[in-house]
A and B are shown apart, each in its own frame.
Chain A
Amino acid sequence: MYGFLIGVGVLLIFSIVWMVYRIQTLVSVVKGSDKKIASGSNKVNAILFIVFLVGTGILMFWYSIKEFDNYQLPVASEHGVVTDSLFWWTMAITGIVFLITHVLLFIFPYKYRYSEKRKASFYPDNNKLEIIWTIVPAFVLAGLVISGWVAWSDITAPAPENAHTVEIMGYQFAWEVRYPGKDNVLGDYDYRLITATNSHGIDFNDKNAIDDFSSPVVVIPKGEPVLFKIRARDVLHSVFAPHMRLKMDAVPGMPTRFWFVPTKTTAEMREETGNPEFNYEIACTEICGNGHFSMRKVIEVVEPEEYQKWYAEQKSFIQLNPALADGLSAETKELAEIQLSEK
């Protein structure tokens, strides 16, 4: 029944629109306005451009100011402060250009709308003007590029020696984390060694692997350089930590990296945002399959002392699952046993 009523309603609306359309066509034929070069609609359209300019302009400023704290995520890394300032500088410069060009673009239609009494100016070129508006944008862009390049070079420079290494591996559809353990060196891995119990494919024949450990959350110290070593097990993923202004693809077969210095602990951020539930998060930003939207990992930034303490307390893969040491060479096994006995 409802369907029928809606159908009738739609039909009615269509027939009314149809009638109006026919009537206005006939009227314009009778009035002869369809013969004129520009009818009354010309002025209406010209005015609508001004209405659009003012209306959307107000809407844009109102919303941008009102929502500022919502869309501007608090920043929690050293380089993030730099890229944010670059972002807002670019916003200021492009914003001015945006406003000027749009004001002109929408005022000209009003100001220069058709009039039979006027003739357009024949103004085919002006080389001086062309040169000005080639060179000025070129210089402005050069400024932006150079500041961006300086920041980019710093961000992508090799990590400092004392950086804390964390390995992040993406797979469908989660992240796994590995720390290098006491020796600060991650052990070798090989994707052919992956099993149900060795999801990282760690090669425990490598001595460096013996003290490697995993963690359900990424724990990192505040104020010290942290190096994310990023890899993927199956398809492309991308590590995105929005508050850290950090993003790097995880590529199967090609390890990538990104280092940064976190500047606020999770506790400090909870205070700053007034949200006791706040957590730093990692999301995936490279389409990877059905669960692409659910690859969440929490980052916990703590004070360096707390970090040292936490780090020392962690149990290695082998400690948690001694069976992993089965079938290792005698020498490595010895090391593993020493570690196990330390427990």
Chain B
Amino acid sequence: MSTASVANHDAAHDHHEHEHHDNFVTKYIFSQDHKMIAKQYLVTGMFWALLGGFLSILFRLQLGFPEMNMSFLRPILGGWIDETGHLDPTFYLALVTMHGTIMVFFVLTAGLSGTFSNFLIPLQIGARDMASGFMNMVSYWLFFLSGVIMFISLFLKTGPASGGWVVYPPLSALEQAIPGSGLGMTLWLVAMTFFIASSLMGGINYITTVINLRTKGMSFSKLPLTIWAFFLTAVIGLLSFPVLFAAALLLVFDRSFGTSFYLSDIYIGGEALPNTGGSPVLYQHLFWFLGHPEVYIVLLPALGITSEVIATNSRKPIFGYKAMIISLLGITVLSFVVWAHHMFVSGMNPFLGSIFMFLTLIIAVPSAVKVFNYLTTLWRGNLIFTPAMLFSIGLVSFFISGGLTGIFLGNSAIDIQLHDTYFVVAHFHLVMGSASFFGMIAGVYHWFPKMFGRMMDAKLGYIHFWITFVGVYMVFFPMHYIGIAGFPRRYYSWTNFEFANMYTDLNMFVSAAAIVTFAAQFIFLFNFFYSMYKGRKATLNPWRSNTLEWTTPIEPGHGNWPGEIPSVYRWPYDYSKPGAEEDFIPQTVPLSATPESNLPHEQELVKVELEIMKEEEDVLVSNETGH
């Protein structure tokens, strides 16, 4: 085959170029290799997920067992547990806030996009590395710095930011309003600034790499859906994060320099503040202009990973590849024009509410298309339940359950009652929290062999999946009932109200389920770290997958392919093609090599393909003689 000759040529030359003499620091710490940076993101993300999950267990203890004596937590929480052994209500709000911030930004944005965009984009498009390895490294270290600052804020005497993860002013602007709005909020803003810089650097890199560094033959119509998802995620992030930065900057001005962007007519702590003319609603508009696209920043990579995993393990092409891309594009565009559905009862003009209700329910259409396409991909497949596959099916289930409740909340008339109740909590934890989390876990199980050259244990993976899958539903499904009953969010306790003075049993159940689900994640952690060193050795292509990353050596070095980067001749989903011997045909196999399985229109492409190959060979030969 002509590919072979292409591959041999220049191999030595190329190899030399990418041979780095790494020491410990450049290999593991200030690495510019996209694979190492991906692993750094992954491990950091796992740390934050563990911490974020632990914070949620703390406040679930309060909600499920309000009478409980929590003195045993004093070694960790110190003064936040009062003399009677109860959690401090201020700290409860800090826990809720930090749980949200950590999970949304550090785990599901950086941990998910950071890991898999970094790891898979060069490997799946056939590039040696990111467009700028240096910027990629800076991106990680800014994220790390941001994390350090946020982590320090947890230990402040006045507590970390406590105004909810959305940090609406005036609450977040005024120290008098809540202690967490003092130094804790300052650190939150500083940390987020670094975080935004980090994700912009990452995003620019992802976009540039996908546009410019695709290997020969890898047209946009041959990209795996993972890459499409990562690409569009980066585009969304690039357009929306700067707006969060603007919002945060104005908040900094209001907090520290006496401006009145968000503050007006405030009397607090026995004095009237001089600020007039500002609008708290302005902040909400700016925040949700990022905040809503952020939901898709979190979700799209997970959907991309799922598309790949489901197709591979169904041994079937993803159904409606083009429709999947179109719906991804649709979601990308629409994600920018639905933000105000978070603000139906914020006091903004009700006419605006009508507009955003229409736009919001439109975005349900591409989401529905994706679900139907996943189902059709499973239909008449030959399903192999790897742990990654199980988590992907779990994701689809969460995406349906949480997506459908979005139809309630996107309807402004119904939202009046449901807004800021546990119905919302149930909705977004399923559709964006758990779904994205499952996407991330699926990705880890699926690409672990490529990351570490070893396999994770499948049986432990099954146990991990079933406890987590059932657990997540047991945590979040009951919240719908509590939400319909009108229980408000971010409440330390509901016993002050007659209408909400019930469901103590259900809350206890939810908390118990949360603890079990959290505990089950340690099975994963064990499996992850144990398999990294002691797992079964991976084969070259353990899932018998079509995409390019499986054509690299089992443990690819910096530069990914030792020789020439392989060319791509077909789309990534030629599974179980009629006539083909195996049930998969990798993207690197030319159409001319598989006349038995080519479809009629592909047969015509063979001619073009052969011509191009011939031309290339001529060029090579003339180059060689020219030397």
Contact of B264 among A141, A156, A254 (CB under 8 A): A254
Contacts of B411 in A (CB 8 A): 86, 90, 144-145, 148
* A87-B408, A248-B347 as given contacts; A236 in contact with B319, CB under 8 Å: no
In the complex, identify which listed stretch (B39-47, B187-195, B241-249, B490-498) lies at the interface while the others stay far away: B490-498
Question: A48 to B394, alpha carbons, bound, how many Å?
Answer: 12
Contacting residues of chain A (180-218) with chain B, CB-CB under 8 angstroms: 191-192, 194, 201
Smallest distance from the beta carbon of B423 to chain A beta carbons, Å? 10
Contacts of B490 in A (CB 8 A): 287, 292-293
B364 touches A251 (CB 8 A): no
Contacting residues of chain A (251-296) with chain B, CB-CB under 8 angstroms: 251-254, 256, 277-279, 281, 283-294, 296
Contact with A along B374-408 (1 / 0, CB 8 A): 01101111111100001001001100110011011
Contact of B354 among A56, A108, A122, A153 (CB under 8 A): A153
Contact of B320 among A94, A130, A142 (CB under 8 A): A130
Closest to B380 in A: A121
In the complex, identify which listed stretch (A95-103, A302-310, A316-324, A334-342) lies at the interface while the others stay far away: A95-103
B496 touches A191 (CB 8 A): no
B466 touches A48 (CB 8 A): yes
In this assembly, does A178 line the interface, its C-beta being within 8 Å of a C-beta of chain B?
no
Contacts of A294 in B (CB 8 A): 496
A236 touches B577 (CB 8 A): no
In this assembly, does A224 line the interface, its C-beta being within 8 Å of a C-beta of chain B?
no
* A120-B316, A125-B323, A251-B347 as given contacts; A134 in contact with B488, CB under 8 Å: no
B470 touches A52 (CB 8 A): yes
B369 touches A130 (CB 8 A): yes
A87 touches B414 (CB 8 A): yes
In this assembly, does B610 line the interface, its C-beta being within 8 Å of a C-beta of chain A?
no
Question: A238 to B164, alpha carbons, bound, how many Å?
Answer: 15
* A41-B462, A101-B400 as given contacts; A123 in contact with B486, CB under 8 Å: no
* A115-B382, A148-B411, A290-B178 as given contacts; A251 in contact with B164, CB under 8 Å: no
In the complex, identify which listed stretch (A63-71, A160-168, A325-333) lies at the interface while the others stay far away: A63-71
In this assembly, does A118 line the interface, its C-beta being within 8 Å of a C-beta of chain B?
yes
Contacting residues of chain A (1-55) with chain B, CB-CB under 8 angstroms: 21, 24-25, 34, 37-39, 41-42, 44-46, 48-49, 52
Contact of B420 among A230, A238, A256 (CB under 8 A): A238
B469 touches A101 (CB 8 A): no
Contacts of A246 in B (CB 8 A): 416
In this assembly, does B417 line the interface, its C-beta being within 8 Å of a C-beta of chain A?
yes
Contact of B458 among A41, A72, A126, A133 (CB under 8 A): A41
In this assembly, does A315 line the interface, its C-beta being within 8 Å of a C-beta of chain B?
no
Question: A218 to B52, alpha carbons, bound, how many Å?
Answer: 41
Smallest distance from the beta carbon of A68 to chain B beta carbons, Å? 10
Closest to A131 in B: B323
Contacting residues of chain B (339-382) with chain A, CB-CB under 8 angstroms: 345-347, 350, 353-354, 357-358, 361-362, 364-365, 368-369, 371-373, 375-376, 378-382
In this assembly, does A311 line the interface, its C-beta being within 8 Å of a C-beta of chain B?
no
B361 touches A141 (CB 8 A): yes
A122 touches B267 (CB 8 A): no
Question: A290 to B89, alpha carbons, bound, how many Å?
Answer: 6
* A137-B364, A156-B353 as given contacts; A112 in contact with B457, CB under 8 Å: no
Residue total for A at the interface (Cβ-Cβ under 8 A): 113
Smallest distance from the beta carbon of B403 to chain A beta carbons, Å? 9
Question: A38 to B496, alpha carbons, bound, how many Å?
Answer: 55
Question: A24 to B414, alpha carbons, bound, how many Å?
Answer: 52
In this assembly, does B1 line the interface, its C-beta being within 8 Å of a C-beta of chain A?
no
Contacts of B170 in A (CB 8 A): 234-236, 252
Contacts of B89 in A (CB 8 A): 290-291, 293
A37 touches B457 (CB 8 A): no
Residue total for B at the interface (Cβ-Cβ under 8 A): 117
Closest to A192 in B: B272
Contacting residues of chain B (436-479) with chain A, CB-CB under 8 angstroms: 457-460, 462, 466, 469-470, 473, 477
Question: A71 to B421, alpha carbons, bound, how many Å?
Answer: 13
Smallest distance from the beta carbon of B227 to chain A beta carbons, Å? 18
Contact of A125 among B319, B390, B486, B498 (CB under 8 A): B319
* A242-B499, A293-B492 as given contacts; A235 in contact with B174, CB under 8 Å: yes
Contact of B177 among A64, A247, A254, A289 (CB under 8 A): A289
Contacts of B68 in A (CB 8 A): none
* A90-B411, A108-B375, A234-B266 as given contacts; A293 in contact with B496, CB under 8 Å: yes
In this assembly, does B314 line the interface, its C-beta being within 8 Å of a C-beta of chain A?
yes
Smallest distance from the beta carbon of A250 to chain B beta carbons, Å? 8
11 CB-based A-B contacts, threshold 8 Å: A38-B384, A122-B577, A126-B320, A233-B267, A236-B170, A253-B266, A253-B276, A281-B497, A281-B498, A285-B421, A291-B89
**Could you tell me which A residues sit within 8 Å of B by CB distance?**
21, 24-25, 34, 37-39, 41-42, 44-46, 48-49, 52, 56, 60, 63-64, 67, 70-73, 80, 82-83, 86-87, 90-91, 94, 97-98, 101-102, 104-106, 108-109, 112-115, 118-126, 129-130, 133-134, 137-138, 141-142, 144-145, 148-149, 151-153, 155-156, 171-172, 191-192, 194, 201, 230, 233-236, 238, 240, 242-243, 245-249, 251-254, 256, 277-279, 281, 283-294, 296
**Could you tell me which B residues sit within 8 Å of A by CB distance?**
89-90, 93, 163-164, 168, 170-171, 174, 177-178, 263-268, 272, 276-281, 314-323, 345-347, 350, 353-354, 357-358, 361-362, 364-365, 368-369, 371-373, 375-376, 378-385, 390, 393, 396-397, 400-401, 404-405, 407-408, 411-414, 416-417, 419-421, 457-460, 462, 466, 469-470, 473, 477, 481-482, 484-486, 488-494, 496-500, 502-503, 536, 544, 573, 575-578, 583
- Which 6 A-B pairs have CB atoms at the shortest separation, nearest pair first? A253-B264, A156-B350, A242-B486, A256-B347, A148-B411, A151-B413
